[in-house]
Amino acid sequence: MRRTRIAEILAEEKIGAHYTVMGWVRTRRDSKGGFSFIEVNDGSSLSGVQVIADQSLGNYDSDVLKLQTGCSIMVVGTLAASPGKGQKVELKAEALEVLGWADPEIYPLQKKRHSYEFLRTIAHLRPRTNTFGAVARVRNAMAHAIHTFFQERGFIYLHTPIITGSDCEGAGEMFKVTTFDLNLAPEKDGEVDFTKDFFGGPANLTVSGQLEAEIYALSMGDVYTFGPTFRAENSNTSRHLAEFWMVEPEMAFCDLEGDVELAVQFLKYIFASVLDSCKEDMVFFNRFIDHSVIKTLEDLISQDFKVLTYTEGVEILKKAGQGFEYPVEWGSDLQSEHERYLCEKVFEGPVVLIDYPKEIKAFYMKMSQDGRTVKAMDVLVPKIGEIIGGSQREDDHDILYNRIKESGLNPKDYWWYLELRKFGSVPHSGFGLGFERLIQFVTGLSNIRDVIPFPRAPGNLSF
Ligand code: 4AD
Ligand code: MG
């Protein structure tokens, strides 16, 4: 079966060219003159192609007049200039074959606009809608741009493990991996004996590839990971998933300042790239989802990102006189309402907050001279809040050892991580970008479950 993608046909506009198109019918309209307009979409672009099928086709009455939304067809035809409004070209069918029928009585996607909640229950069909098709193309283009950004800068793409024995964030929000029958798991001293399990010890799905990325940064220089990560936090919000994709660069010979610089360059690159490569889809999001997305991205590409310390941020929030749901004090973790206030009301743009109190950040972050703060950074954006979390890493063995203990973790579990600080330790830094949060920001979609093909969230694993 040979076909030409509709995106290619529309881009080239070769009047008189002969094509075979395969796709799904969006709509069919019949004209009195004995012909029909069939809008066909094949997923290659937001726009479909308009097919003109007339009664000279042998199967006009038997097939064409029965076509409904969702049917799949093959059309062989010639491209002509379209006299009608809304499209420049149309395909005059010389043959049309129905590949698969879709009974309109039971096909769930009809012409009307469906709610996102409903579409989430039909994740096997929602990519056939304009919105989810556009999300899939934008997500793909952003993944491509991420690789290009790092590859152009000499970073090595590293595959870190999905199944791991360590807890990177030290927060214990992990899914266990086991082959035990939970009712029959062997016990020792009243606890499950994981030494008898598949890996000979407890295993989890990774929450971050950072610790392993540090290993490779400390031999290859600049590396990055881009893979799925898993968090068992019971956060039923529009910004949290139990399975999400994270991009994690890790750089040797790099301090916090270099880390912030890379994060800002990285975001600007992705924004510019998606505006360039997904014009039609971005115009669609701007028109139907959020009227400000294109301007917001364009502004960010040319703007400086405001960088300020956590302490400065807290001062501003305390003076704001806002009735926040969670009050702010130095030492308290910022909530998304605070992050968004700084971005949306105070700075009207993205903000990079640095130098957080050590108590609210992970054990691996580099301690500052003041003994109270660590060299952390969070990149915050309007409407979403945190999209990037990163830091300079603690490279002093003894300080790290104490921080691991202080955090209630067992230094034995981190023996190899500590050894990296014994043998040729160097200053190094990195960050993690939540890929879905970035897609939310770019598309304007307000729920994170609509920017990943198959969302996993508490109580939600449709298939
Ligand atoms: O701030 P986090 O927890 O940082 C880390 O995991 C570091 N190890 C990264 C590093 O330095 N290499 O997570 C990083 C980003 C967050 O800023 C957020 O965008 C996203 O991951 N994220 C989530 N996205 C969707 N659902 C969740 N449950 C998320 N948790 C974090
Ligand atoms: Mg974070």
Mean pLDDT of the chain: 96
The number of the ligand nearest the C-alpha atom of 447 reads 1
**Separation of 128 CA from ligand 2 center, angstroms?**
34
Q: 8: pLDDT confidence band, cut at 50, 70 and 90?
A: very high
Q: Which residues pair with 432 in a beta bridge?
A: 389
Helix axes 256-277, 435-443, angle to 10 degrees: 50
Is the pLDDT reported for residue 295 higher than 90? yes
Q: 281: pLDDT confidence band, cut at 50, 70 and 90?
A: very high
**Separation of 252 CA from ligand 2 center, angstroms?**
21
Is the pLDDT reported for residue 74 higher than 80? yes
- Tens digits of residue pLDDT in 206-218: 999 999 999 999 9
Enumerate domains of the chain plus CATH numbers. Answer: 6-100 (2.40.50.140), 127-171+207-450 (3.30.930.10)
pLDDT at position 80, please?
Answer: 98
Is the pLDDT reported for residue 235 higher than 90? no
Which residue, judged by its Cα, is nearest atom 21 of ligand 1? Answer: 434
Q: 28: pLDDT confidence band, cut at 50, 70 and 90?
A: very high
Distance CA(79)–CA(9), nearest Å, equals 9
What residue ranges line ligand 1, CB within 6 angstroms? 168-169, 208, 210, 231, 240-241, 244, 246, 248, 386-390, 430-432, 434, 436-437
Which residue, judged by its Cα, is nearest atom 1 of ligand 1? Answer: 389
- Tens digits of residue pLDDT in 364-403: 999 999 999 999 999 999 999 999 999 999 999 999 999 9
Which whole number is the average pLDDT over 26-40? 96
Bigger pLDDT: 336 vs 112? 336
Contact call for residues 419 and 88 (beta carbons, < 8 A): no
pLDDT at position 84, please?
Answer: 87
Alpha carbon separation from 40 to 5, 51, 58, 192, 441 (Å, rounded): 11, 7, 20, 57, 30
The residue to mutate among 236, 244, 460, having the most atoms of ligand 1 within 8 angstroms of its beta carbon, is: 244
The number of the ligand nearest the C-alpha atom of 437 reads 1
Kindly report the pTM of this predicted structure: 0.97
Helix axes 256-277, 293-302, angle to 10 degrees: 140
Distance CA(257)–CA(394), nearest Å, equals 15
Is the pLDDT reported for residue 121 higher than 80? yes
Which residue, judged by its Cα, is nearest atom 18 of ligand 1? Answer: 434
Q: Say which DSSP state 123 is in.
A: T
Using the structure block, give the residue that is written with the tokens 């972050």: 365
Q: Say which DSSP state 341 is in.
A: I
pLDDT at position 60, please?
Answer: 97
pLDDT at position 167, please?
Answer: 79
Burial class (CB in 10 A: 0-12, 13-18, 19+), 278: buried
Ligand 1 atom with minimal separation from the 430 CA = 11
Is the pLDDT reported for residue 428 higher than 80? yes
**Separation of 299 CA from ligand 2 center, angstroms?**
25
Is the pLDDT reported for residue 194 higher than 80? yes
Which residue, judged by its Cα, is nearest atom 15 of ligand 1? Answer: 434
Q: 322: pLDDT confidence band, cut at 50, 70 and 90?
A: confident
Using the structure block, give the residue that is written with the tokens 């990285």: 266
